[in-house]
Amino acid sequence: MNAYEEYMKQVAQPMRDELTGAGFTELTTPEEVDAFVSEMEGTALVVVNSVCGCAAGLARPSAKESLNHTKRPDHIVTVFAGQDREATNRMREYLEGYEPSSPSMAVMKKGQVVHFIPREEIEDHEVEEIVANLTNAYDQFC
């Protein structure tokens, strides 16, 4: 690992911890992504995490807050764009039909995307709007 990669790993660690501390499972390899999707029972919230400002100020807090809802996904997982590239690229293969977007969030049911929130629906939106977007999907699919 070169000095830049090591620096970015250290910079990103608190951003990883914000989600893993809330109970998200980090998928860091393509094999972990494949195993998760192929073995998935029920529903999942997948957060494509990133270092961008809208991830910090909007996406991660919204994802965490949405979990206080009465209905919620059976699984919560995350991949980190720009950090765990291979895992993120593999997850994006399962998010087929949606442009790669960081940050983004998907609700999956039995391995299929049933609701997707791209960066455009995160950036310049209020946390409450994003939480409502997620919880409406939970009510519908979970």
Catalytic choice (27, 40, 44, 54): 54
Burial class of residue 113 (count of CB atoms within 10 Å of its CB; 0-12, 13-18, 19+): middle
How many whole angstroms separate alpha carbon 116 and alpha carbon 129? 14
- Is 52 a catalytic site residue? yes
Catalytic choice (37, 52, 106, 107): 52
- Is 142 a catalytic site residue? no
Q: List the catalytic residues.
A: 52, 54
